[in-house]
Amino acid sequence: MHRPASAEMEVRRGRRNGSWLSPRVYYALAAVFALIAVLFPSWGGLLFSPHEIDFRYFWFAGYMWAHGLDPYLPAYAKLGNSLLPVGSKLQMWLYPPDWWPVARALALLDLPTSLIVWRFVASGLMIVATAAVTWVLTPRVDLPRRVALTAFACALASVIEPTRMMLSGQVSSVVIYVGVALIVCAQATRNRALLVAGLILLTFKPQVGAVAFVAFAIADPKAVLYALIGCLILALPQFTAFGFLNTIREMIAGYPNYAAWPGNSALAMTGPAQLLGRLGIDVPALLFLPAAFLTAIAAGVVMRREGQQLPGAALLLAGIAAFVPLHNYDMEMLLILAILLLRCGAPLIAVAAGAVLIVKPGWQEKGAIVYANVSQGAISYSIAGLIFLALAIRVILRRQPRTPSA
């Protein structure tokens, strides 16, 4: 029995593009992956959701702003712990005031309802951001494979361990993930508006935003200027109500307590300090932050060169993942970095080796001491960050701004 001429042409076209599967198979695979991407976070985040940990920090900051109160004052913790249901105790509000729109939006609903809504919104943002990055970075891949690859990336984003931790009620990690995705898309499309939006979102986690700003102050100073203006606009409600200088003083006064919290110790976060701590060498989690800034400077120089925007972005993100102390739920960004490194020509096997460490790091760290579950997987994430940093450096040294499509 002969196949129809149209089907024969599709198979031949697929073989010319390096594929031995028919388009229908790719679309079927895409449908399965898309189903996993949508259902898995909904199942894990609503029906069997983990205990809420940090969501109340953001919700209560919005609650205070809604009632004309300053969340940077000590009353934040005292009032919050007296009003909120039993759970993780509030300590202080350390995030920058450009969180105002997000926190206020979260506080429009009561805490339990807002948490459920946020879990669905966060899952949607994660899927859309992953799809956008994968789609933008595979322009030369034929449509069936491109659709399947995009759906596969979204499914992977939904099942990796950082996503499960994110669904406990993390907010900053989702915002950072979207910001990283916007920056990668901006570098791929040379779209400054996307870059500005991404930089603004990265400031929501100051240690990440500061490193990114250093890189783009070299690569695109105008984008940094526009992002700073955007941050000031978002923070205007706090500044107008409680004063600009007063807010800055309150924020600075709270930062010395940041490292003193057990949840922000070296063993509770990612990075070289985490790995040294496992060897019995106790150093502050922020000790290697200067290395992140040095990497950002190098990345900024690379991104100024024509055709090196994506390798430079890979170096920047790898420096952040390797040296900036973060929590396990923040390391979702490693997935975007893995996709970017493949686009830049990093060896598939090496990238896959690093990516395996973020799928279910608990498998590699059985028996490792953790702090209140916030450091579960931190060893694997730290190693993955260093692997990806080495791959980003390799890509730049080999001067491969482009690679053949997968």
DSSP for 176-224, please give it: HHHHHHHHHHHHHHT-HHHHHHHHHHHTTSHHHHHHHHHHHHHH-HHHH
Whether the model clears a pTM of 0.95, i.e. scores above it, the answer is no
When pLDDT is cut at 50, 70 and 90, the band that residue 370 belongs to is low
pLDDT at 403 over 60: no
Give percent of the chain above pLDDT 70: 86
What length is written for the chain?
A: 406
Q: Give tens-digit pLDDT for 310-336.
A: 999 999 999 999 999 998 889 999 999
Over range 341-356, report the average pLDDT. Answer: 94
Say whether 152 sits in a helix, a strand or coil: helix
Torsion of CA 260, 261, 266, 270, to 10 degrees: -140
The pLDDT value given to residue 402: 47
Q: Give tens-digit pLDDT for 252-263.
A: 887 777 766 777
Q: Give tens-digit pLDDT for 132-162.
A: 999 999 999 999 999 999 999 999 999 888 8
**Using an 8 Å Cβ cutoff, are 59 and 107 in contact?**
yes
**Using an 8 Å Cβ cutoff, are 164 and 40 in contact?**
no
pLDDT at 16 over 90: no
pLDDT at 38 over 70: yes
Measuring CA to CA, which residue among 309, 351, 312, 349 is closest to residue 334? 351
Q: Give the Å distances, CA to CA, from 323 to 287, 292, 319.
A: 9, 5, 6
Measuring CA to CA, which residue among 322, 283, 262, 238 is closest to residue 89? 262
* Paired tokens of 66: 């809604």
**Using an 8 Å Cβ cutoff, are 49 and 119 in contact?**
yes
